Chain A
Amino acid sequence: MNFLADITTALPETILLVFGLVGLLLGAIGGDRISGLLRVLAAAALAAAAVTAFVQFGRGESVPAFASAVAPDGLYKATLFTLFAKGVTYVLAAFALFMSGGALKSSQMERYEYPLLITFGSFGAGMMLSANDLMTLYVGIETLSLSSYVLAAFRRDSLKSAEAGLKYFVLGALASGLLLYGSALVYGFSGGTSYAAIAAAPSSVGLVFGLVFLICGLSFKASAAPFHIWTPDVYEGAPAPVVAFFSTAPKIAAVGVLAHVMFNAFGTHTASWKMIIAIISALSMLVGAFGALMQNSIKRILAYSSISNVGFALIAIASGVEKGAAAVLVYMTLYVIATLGMFGGVLALRRAGKPIDQVSDLNGLVKSKPGMALGLLILIFSVAGIPPAAGFWGKLQVFTAGIEDGMLWLVLVGALASVVSLGYYLRLVWAMFVKPAKEPLDKTDISVAATVAITTILVFPVLTITIQILLDAAARAAGG
């Protein structure tokens, strides 16, 4: 084990970890007064980690690290697929942090631990993506989960926030238990915890049962049905900037991890998981689409929208590594970019200092904030997959992968879910553009406005035209 070479391979995570530890010391000395400074520094560290990951991606490095006699394949491996997913994760975490300033200030959450928890959470997300061993995977997932539980309950004086944190924690612990039990079964029946050892093991009943438990645990983290129950409650209770973070960076990391584990560790056992993932995918799309129809709370609608969209990404995973790997990355990247702007923009709207909650609070947004309304319209179109917004390309990729793999029924379910979900997307648009206005909203923070503007321009027209670049990058990532 060459320690320096290993650290260099894991440079993006090393940057985050070093910043997290130094930031913790700074925070302990400076207290909550330097929380603004730490927020900027944390966003910079996340950006640096993203740049490092993309540079490694550009160099085409695919190297194992932390290998030894007992773990010859390495505990950590930077493949092109994971580097791509990690880069996007870090960029979105940086943006989610960047736009959270005003919301934190207005709800008395300006504490120096906030940026640090997001940094440690992103570190965990990076580690679980880069894991080449079930043990690294689990420790990474726990780092991300523990940070998420605390972030969900970050507004201590709000009952709803505490409830969200507690619910997330209890259900998350259950999911971790399932994941560990699955890992134990997989280890027992394959004789190894490294992805390569699992892939080399012959298929057996025990291995398949372990695989099922693993999928349950990972689906919980990605909030796919039927393990989605926590999502609407947590999104409703957690503070708005935290929801903007939850729905972007950890989301692409969780879906990426599910894809990575299925494609690599269980790549030789595809027949065992294909149908399970396909059913989870169909359930997620339907639950997400129909569940949101009856909701009036914006946060709950967005939660169901995110469940539904994870279902679409799972179509690509179910299509297998050759056809689906690139589609997962394209779909999730386009989805999280649009989601960051949409969630961030909607959740940052405040009336008399209080975040808005009901769909009716959006009424007449086009009169009071025409720029924001137009941006949100384009972002909503992208999330719904309506051309010419870039989200359409993502959905096209996913559906193509499904059809190429002969899963027409799943694609048809997806198309049905898309049509149904249009119902609530258009309800948001209707409220913003047609309904008469209510009392005026507070002034939008410049960071939120900038984020909405950047994501809107990215979604349409930039990525609509230059989609080929993203497709090529994703194809390259899938190849490595």
Chain B
Amino acid sequence: MALIAFYILSTVVVLSALFVVAARNPVHSVLWLILTFFTSAGLLVLIGAEFLAMLLVVVYVGAVAVLFLFVVMMLDIDFVALKQGFQNYLVVGLLVALALLAEIGIVAAAATFGGGATFQPSPGAATNAEALSKVLYTDYLLLFQMSGVVLLVAMMGAIVLTLRSRPSVKRQSIAEQVGRKRKDAVELKDVRPGQGI
């Protein structure tokens, strides 16, 4: 049963990944990508890594793919112009793709995986969320903190590159609004008949 599910899921993964590249419409590409992520999550469930599967759905489908969709839809990119010159690069691209395919084939053919390739989803713990957090926050503390530094640098970078003060843009200043007195805004004038102010 699990084997049948595995073959169905992996066929869908490979085919949908192919359509990500082949689809003419970039929005369709992103939708195929979402399908790829979903079925990969299914594969993870099959080997018992349900936490990773949920993470994949939440992070990649929920955040990354939707972000891609936004970018594809909001940016005004001329996809016809982007695809021009496709034929020129086709030969080189195919050669590189064939070389990579051959390499993967050679590796897969010679597969004698080290460490016995025994996968334990929850080593010595009740659930694999518990097992993951046990090593993540203790043994791999250094890596966890360094990942935090990477994210901090990324955030700094985004701010450095995009935040700029524009003097021409009017902003709301609450303190100024609240602190405004009547005499700052209204002035009583005695207007004589027949004359302007």
User: Which residues from chain A contact B139 at a C-beta distance below 8 Å?
Assistant: 1, 68-71
User: Which residues from chain B contact A191 at a C-beta distance below 8 Å?
Assistant: 113-116
* Residues 115-139 of chain A, each 1 if its beta carbon lies under 8 Å from chain B, else 0: 0110010011001000000011001
- In angstroms, Cα B138 to Cα A71, docked, is 11
A127 near B156 (CB under 8 angstroms)? no
Name the 8 nearest CB pairs between A and B, nearest first.
A191-B115, A191-B114, A150-B157, A68-B139, A205-B110, A139-B146, A66-B142, A70-B139
Which of A140-148, A239-247, A398-406 lies at the interface? A140-148
* Residues 153-169 of chain B, each 1 if its beta carbon lies under 8 Å from chain A, else 0: 11011011100100000
B153 near A143 (CB under 8 angstroms)? yes
B147 near A139 (CB under 8 angstroms)? yes
State how many residues of chain A have any CB contact under 8 Å with chain B.
46
Besides A117-B157, A185-B107, 8 other A-B contacts (C-beta < 8 A): A68-B140, A75-B142, A113-B160, A190-B115, A192-B114, A206-B107, A206-B112, A206-B113
Knowing A68-B138, A71-B139, A185-B107 touch, does A24 contact B156 (C-beta < 8 A)? yes
Instruction: Answer whether residue B103 sits at the interface, using C-beta atoms and an 8 A cutoff.
Output: yes
Closest A residue to B158 by beta carbon equals A150
Instruction: Answer whether residue A209 sits at the interface, using C-beta atoms and an 8 A cutoff.
Output: yes
- In angstroms, Cα B156 to Cα A124, docked, is 15
- In angstroms, Cα B116 to Cα A29, docked, is 54
B157 near A149 (CB under 8 angstroms)? yes
User: Which residues from chain A contact B161 at a C-beta distance below 8 Å?
Assistant: 150, 153, 156, 165
Instruction: Answer whether residue B82 sits at the interface, using C-beta atoms and an 8 A cutoff.
Output: no
CB A131 to nearest CB in B, in angstroms, measures 10
Q: Which residues of B contact A (CB under 8 A)?
A: 103, 106-107, 110-117, 135, 138-143, 146-147, 149-150, 152-154, 156-157, 159-161, 164
User: Which residues from chain A contact B113 at a C-beta distance below 8 Å?
Assistant: 188-189, 191, 206
- In angstroms, Cα B157 to Cα A202, docked, is 42
Q: What are 17 residue pairs bridging A and B, where the CB atoms are less than 8 Å apart in the complex?
A: A1-B138, A24-B152, A69-B139, A75-B143, A117-B153, A117-B156, A120-B152, A120-B156, A123-B149, A135-B143, A139-B150, A146-B153, A189-B112, A189-B113, A190-B115, A191-B115, A209-B107
B107 near A143 (CB under 8 angstroms)? no
B111 near A206 (CB under 8 angstroms)? yes
Option from B115, B117, B150 in Cβ contact (under 8 Å) with A192: B115
- In angstroms, Cα B38 to Cα A144, docked, is 33
Closest B residue to A202 by beta carbon equals B114
CB A429 to nearest CB in B, in angstroms, measures 38
User: Which residues from chain A contact B138 at a C-beta distance below 8 Å?
Assistant: 1, 68
Knowing A69-B139, A70-B139 touch, does A111 contact B160 (C-beta < 8 A)? yes
- In angstroms, Cα B113 to Cα A146, docked, is 33
CB A217 to nearest CB in B, in angstroms, measures 15
User: Which residues from chain B contact A136 at a C-beta distance below 8 Å?
Assistant: 142-143, 146
User: Which residues from chain B contact A149 at a C-beta distance below 8 Å?
Assistant: 157
Instruction: Answer whether residue A204 sits at the interface, using C-beta atoms and an 8 A cutoff.
Output: yes
Knowing A146-B150, A150-B157 touch, does A156 contact B112 (C-beta < 8 A)? no
The CB with the most chain A CB atoms within 10 A, among B103, B113, B138, B142, is that of B142
- In angstroms, Cα B159 to Cα A70, docked, is 37
User: Which residues from chain A contact B111 at a C-beta distance below 8 Å?
Assistant: 206
CB A292 to nearest CB in B, in angstroms, measures 26
Instruction: Answer whether residue A235 sits at the interface, using C-beta atoms and an 8 A cutoff.
Output: no
A116 near B156 (CB under 8 angstroms)? yes
Instruction: Answer whether residue A386 sits at the interface, using C-beta atoms and an 8 A cutoff.
Output: no
Option from A71, A127, A201, A204 in Cβ contact (under 8 Å) with B146: A127
CB B159 to nearest CB in A, in angstroms, measures 8
Closest B residue to A112 by beta carbon equals B160
CB B190 to nearest CB in A, in angstroms, measures 48
User: Which residues from chain A contact B149 at a C-beta distance below 8 Å?
Assistant: 17, 20, 120, 123-124, 143
- In angstroms, Cα B112 to Cα A204, docked, is 8
* Residues 36-74 of chain A, each 1 if its beta carbon lies under 8 Å from chain B, else 0: 000000000000000000000000000000101111000
